A and B are shown apart, each in its own frame.
Chain A
């Protein structure tokens, strides 16, 4: 994808010797092959092969408990899924999960990046501390929030009650309406760091002269931000949001740890549902659901890029 923001520095490596690049060079081809093959052999065996086998399971009746009887059943798995009463709920939840997490993550992350843009004393230390959620797995974050949202001894209820916002403890994770809110709050907390890091890096790539020139022309801070800075980093923002949508859609860990999709499928998203199918040994359904997820993501990616790149190139 031609999405480079800082110019393709990789091409510079070969520009130095253009004559050698023209003709086919066996030695050169062998070098490339030799250097790439270890990676490819490992990834092919342990990632691609299982993915391809898994892909075709979508069209088979495939249960872990009946491995000798896996007939081809066409699109039956897809029909079973769509007919399942949980299907609509799951798809809607996936959408709420992605949008409800991503928008606040983006806004807060952007504000933090703006705050960290100018250098100040201890900025390095601040980043090293404040960006720590990145080192922790989503699964563990889910465990921490499950404890904090605990209805009896949870600290969140305690703070709400002490500050007089609520009168009694709220059963966050047991309440069908609030459980989704709780898992999204945990996810927002977790994902802000990612946006802060990416947007900060993008902001720092904006040349200082550009914003200074705008300031000299009398543009205020807010105007400079919206008319100079954001357009300059637009391609990074578009790409970051896209990567994040794909990632959050595929990210069941927090929900898995906090509610396991419950109560009564109220926090079930596509990937937690997939986990449930694999735990039941029903790999056919899990795989079919995986296809639906990929289909949704491919359609989304296409639409997203064509809408956002039409008004000028990325």
Chain B
């Protein structure tokens, strides 16, 4: 394609995109900066845009005054487990939704989509009650179960889109060669769709990592807290300590940011397909 845009338009575009990049990156810069400022420079006026000195004080304080290491571990454990299981289960549903035509297919899609639109707060009370009966209150395992249910619908829709891009002659050939349908899915399709599956997994992982209201409701003891639950208790306190708070925010943001940057191309493809196909 020949790029025939006039120079003025190119400049306008470059300036516009740069301005937006700065606006987008600024909050990230600011929280990073705050996290590395020594405590006495955080509440300082006029505000400094480059600290006189960098310090790890806030990080040290964060880990010494709270169980933040444990929270990171809990978040990692819960998110990774839930995201893996949900991705595998959704893989099966996505496969059927892509490959078969059946009368209730529309209803299945609607049943999945509806879960994305109902205000979830309605479910919090009953879920809590149910967990009391099942003995799952304040359990990371219980949280995993809820997160699996939370992430399945959208990942099924997303994976359906990825299946649609793979010709079905592929698994038919494998089935002629004697594999079962499941075997064909597992051994032939999964390797081909690896980028899409990884993107779905990352999307699920990030959603679980970020989830707040379910974990606040279902987790009680400090030892089982996930990061968002901990952040929630930080900002609920009367006097917010912005130094350790910023350090915690940085540690929360970085892993998901790296994951997203790594898989953004496929996630974008999966999301836009999922949404436009309805």
Contacts and interface: CB of A to CB of B under 8 A. Distances in A.
B72 to A, nearest CB: 14
Contacts, number: 270
A10 B98 contact: yes
A214 to B, nearest CB: 13
Nearest to A146: B235
B276 A43 contact: no
B123 A136 contact: no
A57 B268 CA distance: 38
B121 A36 contact: no
A23 interface: no
A124 B268 CA distance: 12
Contacts of A49: 126, 130
Interface residues of B, number: 98
A137 B275 contact: no
Interface string A69-96: 0000000000000000000000000000
B272 A253 contact: no
Interface in B85-141: 89-90, 92-93, 95-102, 108, 111-112, 115, 117-119, 121-130
A129 B30 CA distance: 16
Interface in A88-132: 108, 111-112, 115-116, 118-119, 124, 126-132
Nearest to A21: B101
Contacts of B42: 153
Contacts of B269: 201
Q: Please classify the interface of chain B as helix (H, G, I), strand (E, B), loop, or mixed, using the class held by over half of its residues.
A: helix
B7 interface: no
B5 interface: yes
Given A10-B164, A144-B30, A42 B149 contact: yes
A155 to B, nearest CB: 6
Contacts of A126: 17, 21
Interface stretch (A174-182, A224-232, A286-294): A286-294
B152 A43 contact: yes
A28 interface: yes
- Interface size bracket, A side: 35 or more
Given A46-B149, A135-B259, A158-B46, A287 B122 contact: yes
Nearest to B164: A9
A193 B25 CA distance: 12
A47 B115 contact: yes
Return the 5 tightest CB-CB contacts between A and B, nearest first.
Answer: A137-B210, A46-B149, A135-B260, A283-B125, A54-B122
Interface of A: 1-6, 8-14, 16, 21, 28-29, 31-32, 35-36, 38-39, 42-43, 45-51, 53-55, 57, 62, 64, 67, 108, 111-112, 115-116, 118-119, 124, 126-137, 139-141, 143-148, 150, 152-155, 158, 162, 189, 192-193, 197-198, 201-202, 208, 221, 235-236, 239-240, 243, 246, 250, 253, 257, 271, 274-275, 278, 283, 286-287, 290, 293-294, 297
Given A112-B20, A127-B268, 7 more contacts: A46-B148, A128-B264, A133-B24, A137-B212, A143-B231, A147-B245, A201-B269
